[in-house]
Each structure stands twice: as C-alpha cells, then as structure tokens.
Structure 1
Amino acid sequence: MNVRPEYKSFGELFAENNVFFTPKYQRDYSWESEQIEQFCGDIENALTALVEGNVSQHFFGGIVCSQEEGVGNRKIENMLVDGQQRLSTIIIFFSVIKSILLAYEGDEKDLAFRDDLLTDIHKYLVFEERVQREKVSHARLRIGNADNVFFQATIQGAEIARTRDSHKLIWSARQSFQAFLVDKLFENKTLTESLEVVDNIIKLFEESFLLIHIISTTVDDAYKLFMVLNDRGINLTEGELLKAHTIGNFDENNAHVIQITNDWDSILANDASSVSDFLRWIVTMLTGEHIPNSQVLERYKQDYLTSNLAPQDMANKVRFIKEACEKLKLLSDAEWPFESSNNTNQFHKTKLDWLVKKLKHTHSMPMLLAATYTTEVEFQKVVSETCKFFIRYKVISNLHAGLFSSLYPNKAKIIYTQRDRFSVALIQEAFRDVIASKDSENEYFTAGIASLAYSRKGDNRPLKYLMITIQENWDWLTNEPALGVRRRLHMEDKTAVFDFKNTSIEHLYPYSAREVDRNVDLEEVKNRIGNLVILDINTNASNKDSPFRDKIVNFTNSGIGIHEFVLEHDEWSHEQVELLRNKYIELSVRAFSF
C-alpha cells in the first residue's frame, strides 16, 4: 500500500493548494449535537489555555485522501476518503465567523483588523489560483451530490429548503456555532475584544490544532483505508458501507455507477435506524433466513451484491433495494403500498395500522414486503391473517415470541419466490401448524381470553382486538351450516369499520353502580370479559352507569352480533357473566383459527 502520512496543523493544510471532494460512496453529513458540542468544547478549552499562557497542542485525528498533484501552483485535488465530517464542520465554523465579522461596524482601526482576519479565514473557504491571467476560485470542499448544493449555500450564508436529515444537521451545526460564538465567546465583549477572540481562534488552527494528512496515490489504496477507518469514532452504517462496496470497484463516471450512487442517496435520505431495519428486512426476505444486525453487511456481499457483478447487474440490484426500501417506508408508516383501487377500503388499511402501529409487530415486515410483490388481494389477506395470528399467539396466549424469527423469514422467501402464483393458504397452513404444535387443545388461548379484564387507565386493546375480530366474522361464525376456514376471509364484514376511536368497552353490570343497584357478586367480576361488550362510543356515553335493565334498549338493532346473545337475557347476574365468557371463548377459538 503506497501511502504517506504528513503531520501538520489545519492552517498548514489549508495554506497548501489542496481542494477536497468526496467520492460518490461517502456518507452524508452526520455530525449531531453531541459531536458539535465536543468540537466547541475543544475550542473553548484551548482558548482558555491560550489566554492563560498554557499553550498546548490538540490532535484532531487523521484525514485520508487519494491525491492527484497539480503542476506548479495549480490546485491539488484530494479525494477525501475519510475525514469529510471534520473538514466540512471546520468550514461551516469559519463561514459563521465570516458572516458575524461582516455584520460588524466599528472605527477604522477595528475594521482594518477585521478585514485582516477575514483574509486569514478566506483560505478555509476558498482556494484561488490564476489561470491565463484570470483569478479562479474553487470551493475548498465539495461533498456528496445529495448535500453539496445545500452545503455550499450554507457556508455562503444563504438559507434554502432543508429536504434531507443531513441538510438539517448541516443547518443545525451552523446555528449551534452562531450561538456558541455570539452568546458564549463574544458575550459582554466589545468589538475589539471579540476580534481578539477570533484572532486567537485562527492562531489555534494555525499552530495548535493538528492532524495527520494521510495521502495515497491510488484510489484502491485509499479505498482499503476507507474500509477500516471511521470519522471521529462514528461507525459507518451498513447502508454507507454497501454504497462503498457497490461502487468502489467501478469507474465512478460509468452511467450505471451514477445510477447506483443516486439510488443510494435516495435510500440513505431515510434516517439511519430505518435504513438499517429496511436492509435487514430485505435480505431476510431474499435469503429466507433470520439475519442478525451484525451479519447484514456480509450477507449482502456474499449472497446478493457480490463483487463479481457487472455494473449494470449491480445497478439493477441496487435499484431493487431502493424500490423495496420505498415499499418498507410505506409499510412502516402503515400506509397502503398499492395505488388506490376499488379492491381496498378502510377496513384493510385499519388492519395494516393494527399490525404495524398498534401491535408493533415488526417481525412480520419481511413477509409483508414479500406480499407487496403479489396481488393486492393476496396482500390484504396476508395482513389480515397475520394480524389475527399475532393477536391469538402473542397478545392473548402470550406464547414465546422467538418463534417469529424462524417462521417469518422462510415464509417471506416463499411468498416472494412464488409471487406470481402465491395464495394466502400457504400462510394459513403455517399458522395452523404452529397452533397445532404450541396450543393444540387451545389451553393457552382459552386461559388468555378468560383472564382478559377491563382497566380504567389502560387502552384495553386486547379486549378490543378480540371483540372486534369476532364482530367482523359474525356472519361466518353464525352461519348454518358451519362453513370452512377458506370462506371466512370472503365473509368478513368490511362495511362497518371498527377502530379504537369509535369503539368503546361497555360494562353490562355498570362499572360504578349506584348504591341501590350494587351487587356484591358482580362487583368482583364486573371488569372481567364476561361482563363486557363493544359498543359505539356515543351510545356508551349515553348509558353512563345505568343498570342492565335500562341500558338494554341500546343493544337492539345495534348491528353488533354479540348483542344478540345479551338480548336473550332479561337480567344480568353472575351466571350470565359466566355464560358470556364461555360464548367469547367458543367464538374466538373459531374466529382465530386458520
């Protein structure tokens, strides 16, 4: 490996004819408040030491470049392989100082000193050279396509739309530096004193703030260094490393490589945590295996984004990842991943919201992603059946969640592989097999239902999941003769959409019974499932704490099936509570079967 390290100050680095640009695989700007505060703290501590006469040097780490030397006094192009975060932050910092100084007004002597300081700062922002008698200015640093326009505008003091997280971080860094300088370093100081502070800051960067400039003459050597070095301890994400992997071996001017770069910019515009999840869910779907976070990068390199791919093939695969990420972004936000159609209504969208937002069942994401490559109708069925399965297996029965890591990846791969001929029957069979092996006699499920109870301070979601599912399947559950499971999905009531906002839990024996209506036996079981039904939230409010005999009229023609059972009784006692509980168990075992 042909590299040479040069130990120098930042002042020396920027006094040279260096201009810097980042390769297409480099990460977006990513310094957050913690790193900015540390940077400001380093400057503040060094200023204090300088004023007290305790001059000390501070090492800021290294930057790694692949360098093409210029001729004579011409600029030297440095492909900035590692160190972008540090250099871009320093440039933002000096651009803020420049804007503050330009706004100052003072006497002739102060303004002359200010202009000298602006001259010293200029080299951190711009490199100038003479070309055929004309002075040509070059930005000291050009960063990635997704950030460069915003970055250049920011250091010139312009405010433009912030469309990416990295833009927000760049602008936040500028605002933090503005506050650090004006509100802390220049606070209660005259113009002359503030100029002295700036002079000391420049001296620190010229003399005391040091780095190692590691220079390689080949891109290959620089790339190898990039893969093992981090920027100030911030680890590169899987997405950033995969971006490097998919581009590093190709000519970056190749049209396919430009497409790869743009697609990765689109992927990495999402927050880092989401990108990490998206990439893991995609490779899980493709391999059919549970992939831990630590193995995501290697599995992509080994199984999908292999190094022997031609540029066009690599571009096609990255495009697939980009489009899959777009689908996962919609799914993660519980947004329907198909264009609007007559096949889908609010019923289906509510089920997706349950699964993703309310149940937070992210284990199912690889399988949901795979189902988006089938038909919209099959996707609807996968969402509905997975929702029922999770409610039964985990929410009600509280069985071990470790099963999902072995069940879903394999099914996700099968769904994706068979996308042109997939039927939800495959998923139903898998769920049926799980229940047969884990709860063949419905003992856990029955016990879970029997233990469900109303909590005044809770959202009572398990109760609502169970009761609403029974209601949606009421026609199938009560059909004579009994119909098979295959007919259940076709007979779901999709016309009246029950959600948590328009549905409440009604106590048949009231939660707060009046003294004259109090029943000691029922007080003990009033919050158990056998004393509860779902009801329209407005009707529930009108019932207040009325006794059973007074509220029963509201159950007539309510459209809610279980109310038919309630209406069979003229009074409500402990015996009726037991009967209703058993009715719920009977109906639930059927409704949550596959």
Structure 2
Amino acid sequence: MASELQPLSLLFQNRLFRIPDYQRGYAWQQSQLADFWDDLINLQEGRYHYTGLLSLKPLKQNEVDSWGTDIWLVKKGFKPCHIVDGQQRLTTFIILLNEIVEFVRSLEENKGKTDESIILGDDTLAEVVTKYICKHRPSNNQIITYLFGYEVDNPSAEYLRHKIFNEPCSGSIHETYYTKNLKFAKVFFRENLEALYVEEHMEGINKLYLKLTLSLMFNIHEIDDDYDVFIAFETMNNRGKKLTNLELLKNRLIYLTTLYSETKFDELDKANLRGQINDAWKEVYYQLGRNENVPLSDDDFLRAHWISYFSYSRKKGDDYIQFLLNKFSAKNIFEKKTVAVEQINQSLDTSIDYSLDDENELDSSEPEVMEVLKLEPNEISEYVNSLKDMAKYWYDTFFPSQSENLNAEEKLWVDRLNRVGIGHFRPLVMVIISRRDLEAEKRIEIFKEIERFIFICFRLGYLNATYKSSEYYRAARSIYLRQMNIDDLIEDITVSTNINIEYALQNFVTKIEKHFDDMGGFYYWNSIKYFLFEYELQLAKKNNLDKVSWGMFTKTEKDKITIEHILPQTPTKYYWRNQFRQFDDDEIATLSCALGNLLPLSQSINSSLQNDSFYDKKTSKAEGRRGYENGSHSEIEVSKETDWTAERIYNRSKKLLEFMENRWQFSFTKEQMEDLIYVSFAVDGRVIPAELPEPVSGASLDEESTLSDSASYSGEGLGTQQQMFWSKFVEYCIQEGRGEDIALRKPLAQNWYDISVSDADFHLSFTITRGKYLSLVIYAYNHEAFTRLESKKATIEEVFGNKLDWYSSKKDSVAKRIIYKYECEIFNPKKQTEIFSWMIDKYDELCYALTVAGELDEV
C-alpha cells in the first residue's frame, strides 16, 4: 500500500478518478462547506494544510471496460482509480475549482476572451481546465472525458456533468438528495467568490487558486489488489461525516456479490445483481428526496422496511441495522458444517467386527468439513427489489396528495393520519398502500380504524406513544407476507380502540380540567387544531363542498393557522366588558378558553381582529380585511349569531362535543359532558346587572384604564411575553444559585411554570392570570392528596404566614389547586427583578411550611 503526501496539482497528474457504485453521493452541507472555506481563506501564504486521507483503488483494464468513451484516456496512459475514501473532500475541491474557472470567465474584463488568453494564478484557464476538469479527445474534440466523476450508473453522474460542469444537455436531469447537495455547494462557492472578489479583487482569486492546488496536502493511500476494498470502505468511512445505515448497507450488498463462487454465480450474474442493487438505491434516494423542502430520513425508511420484510424486536436503537448487517454478511455466504465421513451416503458394513477401540478411533478421527451455501443470491435480489418497490409507498404515507397509488378518499384519510400523528402505524400504512390486490374501500376502512385508534387512545386518552406498537409492527409484516387477513386486522384495531374508550375519556376529562386550572382550557389541548379542522370538514360535507384544506385559513404558506378566542383572552374593549358584566375576571378567562369559544383562523386574521367587538369580528371591512361571514364554514356558522354570549359559548361547546362523539363513535357520560363543557356557570340563571356606561366620546375602555398584559408594556403577543417572563425568571434563579431546584424546567409560552416535587403526589407551580395576578400553587393530583394537605391546613398557613385559597377548583375535579395569589404588574420590565425575588421567597416559605407539616423532606 503506497502512502505519500501530495497537493492537488500532483494528484491529478495522469490519474482518472471515479466514485464507485458502492459509494454514497455528495453529502456535505453548509457547515462542512463553511469550515472548508474558512480553512482555505485563513491559510497563510507559504504554509501547507493537511487535508486528510485519500484512499484510492487502482483499476485493471477489465474493470474499466464499462467506462465507454472515457477508455481512450486510459489507453493513453492515465491511471484509472476508484475513490474509496475522501470523495467528499475531493468533490468539494473540484466544485470550487470549476466555480473559480467559471467566475473568472464571467468577469467583465474577460468578456470576449478565450480561455488561452485568460490567466489564473500562473496558468491559463485552458491549462487549468485541461489539468483538473476535463480533456477533449483529438482530433475532432467531440469526446469529453472528465478527470473526476461518478460511474455511469450513479444518478449523480449526469448531474455533475451537466449542472455542475455545465456541459450542454438536451435531456432531463433527475434530482436526488445528493444532487441537491452538489447544487448547494456550487451556489455556496459562487456567492463566496463574489464576496472575495469585491474585497480583494483578482489578487484574492489568484491566491485562492494557488492555495487550493498547491497548499492543501492529501495523504495518498493506494489499496493493493489483494486488499478487501469494501471492508476498507466501511472502516474508513466511520470517520468524518459518517455513513448512514442505508449507505453502509449498499456497500455491504455490493461487496457480497463479489464473494459467490464462479461455478454457481458467474460474472454476468454478479453484474446483473449489482445492477439491481444500484437500481434499487437510485429509486430509494429518488423517493426519499422527492420533496425538496422535506427530505425523508434514510434510516426511518430502512427500519420501516425491515419491520415489514424481516422482523421486529423490542430492542431500542440500531437493532434493525445490526440485524441487516448480520444477515447480509460475508460469513453467511458460506457456512462451515462439520459432518463425519461415515455418515455421508454410507451404511454400516455388518461383516466388519467393530471393536471398542475401532469406535474410539472413528470418534477421534478428523471429521470432514463441508461448505454449505447459506445466503443465496436470490435472497439479496428479492430484498433489494422489495426495498425499491416499497420506497414509493413510503413516500405516499408522508405526501398522499402527490400519490399515484391512492384515490381521492384514500388521500384524504392518509392525510388525516399525518395530521393526527401517524406514529408507529406508518410501516403498516406503507404496507397497506402497497397491497394493490386490496380494494380501495378496504384500504379506506383500515385507515379509518387506525385514525380512530390514534384519536381515542393517544389524543384523548394520552396513552404512551408506544402503546401496542410491537403488535402493529408485527401486523405490518403479516399483511406484507399475506399471512394475516385484512378483516382480522381491522377487527383487532377496532376492539383495541373500544376497550380503551372508558379509560381514555376519564383521562381526557382529567387533562382538560388541568388545562382549565392552568387558565388555558381547550386552547392548551394539543389536538385542538385537528379536532376543529375535522369539524370544518363535516360542515363542508353538509354544505356539499368536497374539498377543504388548511390553506383556506391562510393567505400564504408562512401564514400559519392559529386558534381565535371569539371572546378575547384579554377583553378590554367596552363591548366585551359590557356583554359579560355578570362574570368576574376568572370566569371570563375560563369562558374565553372553553371549547365553544375557539375558532380556527389564519394568524394574520387573528392578529387583525384582536379585541374587536363580535359585530366587527364577523363583518368584513371595506379596506379588504375579511370577517367571519366570508371565512371558513366554522366562521360562517358563528357569524350567523347576532351576539356572542356566555350561553352561546356553552351551547357551542356542547355541540362540538356531540360532534366528537358522533365522529369517533363513543359516548360521554352526562357528568363527563358537563365537566368538558366546564362553564356551567354560564347558564346558572344569575341576575344580569345594569349595562356599563359607555366610554366618553366613543373611546374604548382600554384607552381609559390599565391595559391587559399583552398590550401594556410591549407589542409582543401574550405567548411571547409569557415565555420571556419565564426565561428571565430562570436566568434570575440561576444567578441566585437556584438552578438545581427551581430553574430546572424549560421556559415555554404558557401561563404556568411547574416545579416538581420528588416522590410526592403534588407539585408546586407559578401561574399568571390576566397579566396581573401571579399565583403560587400547590397542585394536588387526586382527592386523597388534597384531603391530606387540607387536614394540615392550619399548620401550613401558620408557618407560611398567609391564608391560602383551598377551594377554587370545581367540586367534582379529580385534581385540586391550593392557591396564594399576588397582584402585580407582571410584564412591566421595571418590576420584574422585584417580582422574581418575591417568587423565590414565597416558594421557600411554602416549602418550609410543607416541611413542617411533614409533606416534604428537610429543605
């Protein structure tokens, strides 16, 4: 194995480089390109920079017969080489060098000049191109051979020639994940060259070229013929930007094709199998990279296919790739089997007297070792062709609207699965789509049952995300191998869902009550958007409109959907204060986050409506801002109300919950329905006081008084202000040495900040209400915990030094809050240091009180 240091100028002397088919494509991205550029720019003149290992495999004549017209350069004496290690760096050098050439050509001063008359460094451009980029075969110059490139069957080969080197092309060029990286590198270097030229002019470009070709040193290793190049590739590529498992597996499979005996598997067979492997990987990478904005994960697909094709284990991590690399390994090509000679096609000769010594001699004799074929070539062929075939169905699970394998209703249901959170069902869905023998109606039936399972068990019941994952992974394989009847699978999912309904609904009620306790209500439910969109679809169907999409709520791609509180969270305008004058601030806050008060809108519409009166919200304006009356079906439905009242919030909450029952086929108990509506006080028949006096001269109430927290001290939204408040609180705690007890939670855009208590059935929490009430809360998880704490009420309050509100939670709530409330200007930056100090002091006082009461360990 030869080894020496060489710069690019020596490396390209009489060598022809090709990236072999077992190599991955170009994987460098912005971080690697930026590091490379910085190293090059900061390299001082006269200094050398060690660039790393370049491992080459010199090729024999018969190994390059498939190179087509490029063979003329080999016959001329150029040494053909496969790049075993270092292709990412060498590809980067060539892209940059080519961009330097193109940039210099494009300069105004060089317009109209030939490459022979343009100087770069100490060379003409013609010399640079001939030495590093390509050569033309004399005498007609019709054949162009690039000194660096991919083997022909690599999808990046054509892209490099025509999109990077800009050779004219009349055909279409397919893009993959790797070709996009090539394109990005080209653009990256072009932009940086332009910036360098602006700063240092042509002198900077010349210096860059000389450093690139003369000062960056490769450690050259040439692998001997008897060296196992595939094993070397696996070993070497564990450095740097590590191979993905999909890339590693491709190398392994191609390697195995070289090991089969010529007697059973000749060179033609090997070439055919190798072609199948390359074709499979082309298709896989095409499908994974079809969506340029959202490329799919190599490893996720490989694992999903392994689950469907081979097996599933409950181990974590890389169990699937370990299985595949063990399955497709050299030791499995041939298995040595020990067999005694006498047992092979022989019967015992009874005419011979076998004595004990003879038997011992037979047992101790050297047994014959037979080589028995274990991993057949057709197993590799069947596996890679399955991988190739399933890639398109994997893509369909993510982007059903682009699928050619699904009808319109199937697309709708697979899209639902993605919106609700498909989770561990994705491999099964992939297999269901691949079963082209199934009727579309049957596939839709299974999609419906999966969606119902996910919504009830995970979105309502909050079951562990891995619940029944092993079972449905195994089902994916059974359906793929046609070992399981699809109707049996549908029944199994249906039964699994139904037996969890009672538990799921109890969990859902408890969770929503917790959200109301935290002053977020249904607004904090993580599936609120999905649920309201499903309601929108139901209204569209009712109105005989087939197509509804999230896009109808948005003006642009960046205009994300948000949830509007019809009754605002901070109702400062006169209309709202007057309309809900019979309720106190806490009741209004609760009404604002009730299910019936929430409406899906685009972010821009939500922001423009803000605290507007109900009439203004529902009415479109002449200047172009639309109101509810011209919005979605849900908005139009709400706009038909003459006014927005607490009773209408109550009734709409009930209506939406009844829709939930019908849509997902279950029933709430009467008590659960009331618990989820939550705002029964809205219809308690209380006396409504006289109307509030209108502000003078039409000024709104918020112009006459202190505004809500979301408008008082900044233009930021409420969620942003909450997150900023908690972030500053955490910073303050860390500065005060409280980073290990109080400041352990990540600050989020919500109105509470929980502090866990080890081995306790309660936790402590700070909450913000309406931007002016800061509460310290003991949150008891169940009645037993609350009753125990309540029995020590006198001790806790005496030691704490203040009275606590023990009874703010609903009587029938499972969990209970015990609150100490403090009024202050929470979002006033000038007050926050004082507030943070108060928070820590009160937290310590409450912890001490709980310790004295025997509820906490010594603090």
TM-score calculated relative to the size of structure 2: 0.53
CA distance in 2, matches of 1:244, 1:383: 37
**Residue 151 of structure 1, aligned match among 144, 157, 160:** 160
Residue number in structure 1 paired with 2:321: 297
**Residue 396 of structure 2, aligned match among 316, 320, 330:** 330
CA distance in 2, matches of 1:577, 1:417: 58
Residue number in structure 1 paired with 2:420: 359
Change (3 A) 1:451 1:380: farther
Listed one character per residue, the Cα deviations across residues 209-240 of structure 1 (whole Å, up to 9, x for unaligned) are 21122112337622111011128711111111
Alpha-carbon deviation of 1:575?
Answer: 7.0
Q: What SS does the aligned partner of 1:389 have?
A: helix
Listed one character per residue, the Cα deviations across residues 357-403 of structure 1 (whole Å, up to 9, x for unaligned) are x2333322122223324533333233222222222222222232242
Q: What SS does the aligned partner of 2:124 have?
A: helix
Residue number in structure 2 paired with 1:391: 455
Change (3 A) 1:283 1:100: same
Residue number in structure 1 paired with 2:583: 520
CA distance in 1, matches of 2:183, 2:433: 37
Q: What SS does the aligned partner of 1:212 have?
A: strand
Alpha-carbon deviation of 1:275?
Answer: 2.1
**Residue 232 of structure 2, aligned match among 225, 244, 260:** 225
**Residue 265 of structure 1, aligned match among 282, 294, 307:** 282
Stretches of structure 2 lacking an aligned partner (at least 5 in a row): 62-73, 259-266, 290-294, 334-373, 554-561, 600-632, 663-667, 671-677, 685-859
Listed one character per residue, the Cα deviations across residues 571-591 of structure 1 (whole Å, up to 9, x for unaligned) are x9937879xxxxxxxxxxxxx
> Higher relative contact order by CA 8 Å / sep ≥ 6: 1 or 2?
1
Listed one character per residue, the Cα deviations across residues 185-228 of structure 1 (whole Å, up to 9, x for unaligned) are 56353x5x46xx52x44543554321122112337622111011
Q: Is the 8 A contact 1:471 1:561 kept in 2?
A: no
CA distance in 1, matches of 2:548, 2:224: 63
Amino acid paired to 1:295: D
Residue number in structure 1 paired with 2:21: 24
**Residue 275 of structure 1, aligned match among 290, 298, 309:** 298
Is 1:426 equivalent to 2:426 in the alignment?
no
CA distance in 2, matches of 1:211, 1:66: 15
**Residue 164 of structure 1, aligned match among 154, 169, 176:** 176
Q: What SS does the aligned partner of 2:429 have?
A: helix
Listed one character per residue, the Cα deviations across residues 525-572 of structure 1 (whole Å, up to 9, x for unaligned) are 5357686699732121232633478999999x99x8699999xxxxx9
Amino acid paired to 1:413: R
Identical positions, percent:
19
Amino acid paired to 1:166: Y
Residue number in structure 2 paired with 1:584: none
Amino acid paired to 2:157: N
Amino acid paired to 1:14: F
Q: Is the 8 A contact 2:135 2:146 kept in 1?
A: yes
**Residue 89 of structure 1, aligned match among 79, 84, 92:** 92
Q: What SS does the aligned partner of 2:221 have?
A: strand
CA distance in 1, matches of 2:193, 2:567: 67
**Please, which moves more after superposition, 66-75 or 282-291?**
66-75
Listed one character per residue, the Cα deviations across residues 96-121 of structure 1 (whole Å, up to 9, x for unaligned) are 2222333454799x947558333245
Residue number in structure 2 paired with 1:5: 3
CA distance in 2, matches of 1:167, 1:506: 43
Q: What SS does the aligned partner of 2:12 have?
A: helix
CA distance in 2, matches of 1:181, 1:471: 52
Listed one character per residue, the Cα deviations across residues 278-312 of structure 1 (whole Å, up to 9, x for unaligned) are 11112123313346442332222345797554444
CA distance in 1, matches of 2:98, 2:253: 34
Change (3 A) 1:256 1:472: same
Alpha-carbon deviation of 1:273?
Answer: 4.8
Residue number in structure 2 paired with 1:581: none
Amino acid paired to 2:102: S
Is 1:77 equivalent to 2:75 in the alignment?
no
**Residue 40 of structure 1, aligned match among 6, 20, 37:** 37
Q: Is the 8 A contact 1:290 1:409 kept in 2?
A: no
Aligned residues: 533
Q: CA RMSD in A?
A: 4.9
Residue number in structure 1 paired with 2:59: 68
Is 1:116 equivalent to 2:123 in the alignment?
yes
Change (3 A) 1:386 1:204: same
Change (3 A) 1:576 1:340: same
Residue number in structure 2 paired with 1:239: 246
Listed one character per residue, the Cα deviations across residues 46-91 of structure 1 (whole Å, up to 9, x for unaligned) are 2xx21xxxx2221111122221368996111101122222222212
CA distance in 1, matches of 2:380, 2:661: 59
Q: What SS does the aligned partner of 2:640 have?
A: helix
Amino acid paired to 2:27: S
Amino acid paired to 1:401: A
TM-score calculated relative to the size of structure 1: 0.74
Alpha-carbon deviation of 1:455?
Answer: 6.0
Amino acid paired to 1:68: L
Change (3 A) 1:551 1:247: closer
Q: What SS does the aligned partner of 2:235 have?
A: coil
**Residue 105 of structure 2, aligned match among 87, 102, 127:** 102
Q: Is the 8 A contact 1:243 1:264 kept in 2?
A: yes
Q: Is the 8 A contact 1:30 1:169 kept in 2?
A: yes
Listed one character per residue, the Cα deviations across residues 384-430 of structure 1 (whole Å, up to 9, x for unaligned) are 22222222222222232242543432332333344662210022234
Alpha-carbon deviation of 1:150?
Answer: 1.6
CA distance in 1, matches of 2:297, 2:498: 32
Matches within 5 A, 1:166-185: 166-185=178-197
Alpha-carbon deviation of 1:264?
Answer: 0.2
Alpha-carbon deviation of 1:184?
Answer: 0.7
CA distance in 2, matches of 1:9, 1:507: 66
Listed one character per residue, the Cα deviations across residues 332-373 of structure 1 (whole Å, up to 9, x for unaligned) are 1244867455xx63xx544432321x2333322122223324
Residue number in structure 2 paired with 1:536: 634
Residue number in structure 2 paired with 1:59: 50
Is 1:215 equivalent to 2:222 in the alignment?
yes
CA distance in 1, matches of 2:645, 2:221: 82
Amino acid paired to 2:161: Q
Q: Is the 8 A contact 1:246 1:314 kept in 2?
A: yes
Q: What SS does the aligned partner of 2:80 have?
A: strand
Change (3 A) 1:448 1:390: farther
Residue number in structure 1 paired with 2:67: none
CA distance in 2, matches of 1:138, 1:573: 77
